[in-house]
């Protein structure tokens, strides 16, 4: 298994908008092995969700993949006909969305919704077996009394339970990769802890690779092996999670960490990053972070810095000439 499960090379996604072309993803490269959890972290509009959607072939007009390649299980997903993509989606790769209420069909029982996946992707599977698999899946995601609960409608379940059902759907066909886009953002903090435990458990038990998209560095720290920090459509820093969070090199990553009040040190003053995220229809010239960067020098306005490995730890890469 020398080639990674997923290799994204120079991915570009653009949206046509009345204000001009929005480059939501402006050249993202990453790779992911089986059995790993990669976190994509950033603020709204940084392109982290768009990357996730591109992986599942969910970019719709006026958006389009404008360049780059996505290789998954040794085949290219960019330009794959929708019919083929549909065979993969939910099957080899699947997605967990933020809002479980919007993901589930309100007029179908949760058992039927999971069973539908088997009917679609495994048409030969017998009814009885489908029923057994549905019950197993619900048990696996921690729903007690699964047989009876499978006959419940989504509105009869709490938010955390609904998200467990969504995860059961994502797992149903044993995918190699799951993209989870802010899977716990709509949930209470004690429920969030349980769902994150569940996601970690899946990876440990089944070797499923996970891409966890989140705005919350705490969630990333607790769940992911590796992290990629995105800003204005690009990865500005990446590496092993513990290393990146302990020794952030990019001024943006450092700023994000300093922006969060800490419960262990509440007297520590939060240091906000001045300004706001750039308008991607009209991005700043040069390094996209330079207008907000405390360390910016004249050179930062010339050319976009490439993501390059740091000297001390080659797996830790940073897109800032001042920090590398």
Partner 1 sequence: MLSPVPSLPDQARTESPPDLLSVKGLVKHYALPGRWFGRAGVIPAVDDVSFSIGSRETLGLVGESGSGKSTIGRMIMRLIRPTAGNILFDGQDWLASSGEEFRRARRRVQMVFQSPYASLDPRWRIADIVAEPLRTHQSLPAAELRDRVAGLLQAVGLDPSVADRHPHQFSGGQRQRIGIARAIALEPDLLVADEPVSALDVSVQAQILALLQDIKARGRLSMLFISHDLSVVAYLCDRVGVLYRGRLVELAGTRSLFHAPGHPYTRALLAAIPGSGQRCEASAPSSAAVSETGCAYASRCPHAREPCRTIVPALRPSGSGALIACHRVGEI
The CB-of-292 to partner 1 minimum distance in angstroms stands at: 8
Helix axes 127-140, 159-171, angle to 10 degrees: 130
Q: Three-state DSSP class for 149?
A: helix
The CB-of-230 to partner 1 minimum distance in angstroms stands at: 13
**Does residue number 193 form part of the binding site for partner 1 (CB under 8 A)?**
yes
Whether the Cβ atoms of residue 73 and residue 5 lie closer than 8 Å to each other: yes
The CB-of-162 to partner 1 minimum distance in angstroms stands at: 12
Binding mask 130-149 for partner 1 (x = CB under 8 A): ------------x-------
What tokens were used for 262?
Answer: 């800490």
Which residues neighbour 55 within 8 Å (Cβ) at sequence distance 6 or greater? 6, 8, 70, 72, 77, 93, 177, 179, 211
The CB-of-277 to partner 1 minimum distance in angstroms stands at: 7
DSSP lists the bridge partners of residue 96 as: 180
- Nearer to partner 1 (CB atom), residue 39 or residue 90: 39
Applying CB under 8 A, among 18, 81, 123, 266 the residue interacting with partner 1 is 266
Applying CB under 8 A, among 3, 132, 259, 308 the residue interacting with partner 1 is 259
**Does residue number 274 form part of the binding site for partner 1 (CB under 8 A)?**
yes
- Nearer to partner 1 (CB atom), residue 132 or residue 158: 158
CA quadruple 278, 281, 286, 289: dihedral, nearest 10: 20
**Does residue number 172 form part of the binding site for partner 1 (CB under 8 A)?**
no
Whether the Cβ atoms of residue 131 and residue 115 lie closer than 8 Å to each other: yes
The CB-of-132 to partner 1 minimum distance in angstroms stands at: 24
The CB-of-291 to partner 1 minimum distance in angstroms stands at: 13
278-317 positions binding partner 1, by CB under 8 A:
none
The CB-of-210 to partner 1 minimum distance in angstroms stands at: 15
- Nearer to partner 1 (CB atom), residue 174 or residue 188: 188
Long-range interactions of 98-101: CB distance < 8 A, separation 24+: 98/181, 98/182, 98/183, 98/185, 98/186, 99/186, 100/154, 100/159, 100/162, 100/163, 100/165, 100/166, 100/186, 101/154, 101/159, 101/162
- Nearer to partner 1 (CB atom), residue 208 or residue 253: 253
Applying CB under 8 A, among 106, 267, 298, 312 the residue interacting with partner 1 is 267
Spatial separation of the C-alpha atoms in residues 297 and 40, rounded to whole Å: 28
Applying CB under 8 A, among 39, 160, 239, 251 the residue interacting with partner 1 is 160
What tokens were used for 117?
Answer: 């996946």
Which of 48, 52, 49 shows the shortest CA–CA distance to 238?
48
- Nearer to partner 1 (CB atom), residue 173 or residue 257: 257
What tokens were used for 310?
Answer: 């740091």
Whether the Cβ atoms of residue 178 and residue 91 lie closer than 8 Å to each other: no
**Does residue number 244 form part of the binding site for partner 1 (CB under 8 A)?**
no
What is the binding site for partner 1 (CB under 8 A)? 43-44, 142, 158-160, 188-194, 196, 215-219, 221-223, 255-256, 258-264, 266-267, 269-274, 276-277
């Amino acid at each position: 298994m020398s080639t990674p499960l997923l290799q994204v090379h120079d991915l570009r996604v653009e949206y046509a908008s009345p204000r001009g072309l929005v480059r939501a993803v402006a050249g993202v490269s990453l790779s992911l092995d089986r059995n790993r959890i990669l976190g994509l972290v950033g603020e709204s509009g940084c392109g982290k969700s768009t990357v996730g959607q591109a992986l599942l072939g969910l970019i719709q007009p006026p958006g389009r993949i404008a360049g780059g390649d996505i290789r998954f299980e040794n085949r290219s997903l960019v330009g794959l006909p929708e019919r083929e993509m549909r065979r993969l989606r939910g099957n080899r790769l699947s997605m967990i969305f933020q809002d479980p209420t919007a993901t589930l069909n309100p007029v179908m029982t949760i058992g039927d919704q999971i069973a539908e996946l088997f009917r679609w992707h495994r048409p030969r599977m017998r009814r009885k077996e489908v029923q057994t698999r549905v019950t197993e899946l619900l048990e696996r995601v921690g729903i007690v009394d699964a047989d009876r609960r499978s006959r419940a409608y989504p509105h009869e379940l709490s938010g955390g339970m609904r998200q467990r059902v969504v995860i059961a759907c994502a797992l149903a066909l044993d995918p190699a990769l799951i993209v989870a886009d802010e899977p716990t953002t709509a949930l209470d903090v004690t429920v969030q802890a349980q769902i994150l435990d569940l996601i970690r458990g899946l990876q440990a038990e089944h070797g499923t690779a996970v891409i966890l998209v989140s705005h919350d560095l705490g969630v990333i720290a607790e769940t992911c092996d590796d992290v990629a920090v995105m800003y204005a459509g690009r990865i500005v820093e990446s590496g092993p999670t513990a290393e990146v969070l302990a020794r952030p090199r990019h001024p943006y990553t450092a700023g994000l960490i300093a922006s969060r009040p800490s419960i262990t040190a509440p007297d520590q003053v939060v240091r906000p990053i001045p300004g706001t995220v750039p308008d991607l229809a009209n991005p700043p010239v040069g390094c996209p972070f330079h207008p907000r960067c405390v360390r910016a020098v004249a050179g930062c306005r010339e050319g976009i810095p490439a993501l390059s490995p740091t000297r001390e730890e080659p797996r830790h890469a940073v897109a800032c000439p001042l920090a590398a």
